[in-house]
Amino acid sequence: MRASATTPFQAAPDSLDPTDWNAVRAMGHRMVDDMVDMLTGLREAPVWQPMPAEARQALRGGDLPTGPGDLDAVYREFQALVQPYGSGNIHPRFMGWVQGGGNPVGMLAELLAAATNPNLGGRDHAPIEVERQVIRWAAQMLGFPMDASGVLVTGASMANLIAVLVARAHALGTGVRRSGLHGRPLVAYTSLETHNCVARAMDMAGLGSDALRLIGLDAQHRMDMGALQAALAQDRAAGLQPFLVVGSAGTVDTGAVDDLTALAALARAQGLWFHVDAAYGALAMLSPAQRPLVQGLSEADSVAFDFHKWAQVPYDAGCVVVRDAALHAATFASQPAYLQRSVRGLAGNQPWPTDFGPDLSRGFRALKVWMTLKTYGTDKLGQVVAHNCSLAQQLARLVDAQPQLERLAPVTLNVVCFRVLAQGVDLDALNADIVADVQESGVAVPSTTRIRGVLAIRVALVNHRTRLTDVEMLLAAVLSTARERLASG
């Protein structure tokens, strides 16, 4: 029977399932229709709009709901209070931060994952095999051996933490898990432009963020190899123990890519673990035009990256891949009696995902990745990468052609940093105001960062929906806002 839209959702007396499943069917169909309408109308909607005070108040007020509510009214509340006030990363003119746009196949996969609701901590079931296949595909994409290990996590922040912990075990042996550090002076190296989550990983691993040396940049914003050599020599002379070098494949500030081949060689020569934060840059492996830029990624001991950025899988879906699977497992695995493994029955099929990271219970993230990769294919995702990078080059040319604009960094991948110039005003304040004005206009979302001390308008092109017209609209909005601001003093 076709569901009637008027059947209200009502829970059965003895469970959370409905008394009438047609109510669920009807509501599900309505939600899918509404989401498709939202996605097909994105370009006409504002990228972002501030939440009205009443909407914010409505979400902040209200006590813990103890009695039953009306699902239809709850959904209408979502439509009124939540849906219009998202951060806008699904929109083609969201260019502020390195965030993915999601995709409709991933959206449907989330429904299937929630309905089947498996727990991917471990045990012998097919969803675990789906995640293992995704990890093998990740290894293949990175040019890693097929027996590399890996696990899906929330994001690159967690993936980087896992890699730092494996590197710590590599340096000190897995006994460090019981004994702790006992003041052993491990130090790690990365560039000034590396994402802050690597410093946080050092902190959370008990090594301290002070033990992460931030090496200066060359003209391409890559880690300066000479400065790295000097820092290593200085630390060794001081009796410290260098153990890890973290390369960047695509920095958030400028999209710079370190010389990964040189870092790999240096790490090998000095007995250091070579990890790469390739949060979005890993996907450059899928584009023939960009692949040479991330050359050397395949030589890393471990790589952290996100499927939720350039691979456009809905949030959240991060991934870490480790060349030495045995060391990876030895860094995290432990087996209390209630997680005892067996060779047969549901408790078989090890190693389990929980052996490769801190999580035990884990959702079916793998399904949205698996379905996205199988449906679109990696050639198509590589084309998205190539297109974003070509838009960045076009934007850079448009910026360079405007005497009123100054570009602040070279464009390697998909990030363009520039600012508006004017006489006799505080340029940092002017450019920060322009960015906030453009965001509040709803036309486009750029963001700010600081490049060599000055405030930059940062445009990061990550969304698969972005077209040249969107980039042109952003630039026009920046210029007209600047004109208005300068005219009004």
Identify each DSSP E strand in 309-404 by its residue range: 318-322
Tell me which H or E stretch contains 5.
none
Q: How far is the CB of 96 from ligand PLP (least distance, A)?
A: 12
Q: Which is nearer to ligand PLP, 149 or 190 (CB)?
A: 190
195 binds ligand PLP (CB under 6 A): yes
Is 280 one of the binding residues for ligand PLP (CB under 6 A)? yes
Q: How many CB atoms lie within 10 A of CB 32?
A: 14
Of 130, 163, 186, 279, the residue at the interface with ligand PLP (CB under 6 A) is 279
**Residue 450, strand partner residues:** 455
Query: For residue 191, is it left (φ>0), alpha (ψ between -120 and 50) or beta?
Result: beta
460 binds ligand PLP (CB under 6 A): no
Q: Look-up: residue for tokens 């669920």?
A: 24
Q: Tell me whether residue 9 or residue 305 sits nearer to ligand PLP (CB atom).
A: 305
Q: Candidates 18, 122, 247, 250: give the one binding ligand PLP (CB under 6 A).
A: 250
Neighbours of 14 (CB within 10 A): 6
Identify residues 154-173 at the interface with ligand PLP (CB under 6 A): 155-157
Using the contact rule CB under 6 A, the part of the chain among 110-118, 211-219, 275-283, 427-435 near ligand PLP is 275-283
H-state helical runs in 238-377:
260-270, 325-332, 365-376
When asked if residue 277 is in the footprint of ligand PLP (CB under 6 A), the reply is yes
The region of 63-71, 164-172, 244-252, 381-389 touching ligand PLP under the rule CB under 6 A is 244-252
How many of the other CB atoms lie within 10 Å of CB of 101? 22
Give the type of residue at 174: T
Taking residues 205 to 224 in sequence order and writing x for each that binds ligand PLP by CB under 6 A, - otherwise, the string is --------------------
State the DSSP code for 196: T
Q: Which is nearer to ligand PLP, 311 or 443 (CB)?
A: 311
Phi first, then psi: give them for residue 3, nearest 5 degrees.
Answer: -65, 145
- Closest CB to ligand PLP among residues 156, 474: 156
Closest CA to 283 of 311, 308, 258: 311
Query: What is the DSSP secondary-structure string of 24-63?
Result: HHHHHHHHHHHHHHHHHTGGGS-S--PPPHHHHHHHH---
- Answer left, alpha or beta for residue 117, where phi above 0 means left and psi between -120 and 50 means alpha: left
Strand order of the sheet with strand 454-460? Answer: 405-407, 415-420, 454-460, 447-451
Radius of gyration, CA atoms only, the chain: 25
Q: CA 113, CA 108: separation in Å to the nearest integer?
A: 9
Whether the ω angle into residue 316 lies within 30 degrees of 0, i.e. cis, is yes
CB closer to ligand PLP, 316 vs 428: 316
**Residues 278 and 294: beta-carbon distance below 8 Å:** yes
Least distance between ligand PLP and beta carbon 364 (Å): 18
Which region among 152-160, 213-221, 321-329, 354-362 touches ligand PLP (by CB under 6 A)? 152-160
Map residues 315-334 to x or -, x wherever contact with ligand PLP holds by CB under 6 A.
Answer: ---x----------------
Which residue from 90, 98, 405, 477 is in contact with ligand PLP, where contact means CB under 6 A? Answer: 98
Q: Using the minimum distance from each CB to ligand PLP, give the nearer residue, 92 or 255.
A: 255
Assess 258 for contact with ligand PLP (CB under 6 A). no
Q: Please, which residue, 350 or 447, has the CB nearer to ligand PLP?
A: 447
Residues in contact with ligand PLP, counted by CB under 6 A, come to a total of 14
Shortest distance in whole angstroms from residue 37 CB to ligand PLP? 29
Nearer to ligand PLP, 122 or 296 (CB): 296
| Residue number, 251 or 388, with CB nearest to ligand PLP | 251
Element (H, E) at 276: strand 273-277
- Residue 229: φ, ψ to 5°: -55, -45
- 349 or 449: CB nearest ligand PLP: 449
Of 196 and 229, nearer to ligand PLP (C-beta) is 196
The interface region with ligand PLP, picked from 14-22, 125-133, 273-281, 376-384 by CB under 6 A, is 273-281
Stretch that binds ligand PLP, among 127-135, 214-222, 249-257, 467-475 (CB under 6 A): 249-257
- Binding span for ligand PLP by CB under 6 A among 276-284, 417-425, 446-454, 468-476: 276-284
Calpha distance 380→365 (Å, rounded): 21
The answer for residues whose C-beta is within 8 angstroms of residue 467's C-beta and 6 or more apart is 92, 391
CB of 191 to ligand PLP, least distance (A): 11
Query: Please, are residues 287 and 122 in contact by the beta-carbon 8 Å criterion?
Result: no
| Nearest residue to 309 (alpha-carbon basis) of 396, 363, 362, 381 | 381
Q: Which residue is nearest to ligand PLP (CB)?
A: 155
What's the half-sphere exposure (Cβ side, CA atoms, 13 Å) at 478? 33
Q: How far is the CB of 155 from ligand PLP (least distance, A)?
A: 2
Shortest distance, position 453 Cβ to ligand PLP, whole Å: 21
Binding site residues, ligand PLP, CB under 6 A: 98, 155-157, 195, 197, 250-252, 277, 279-280, 306, 318
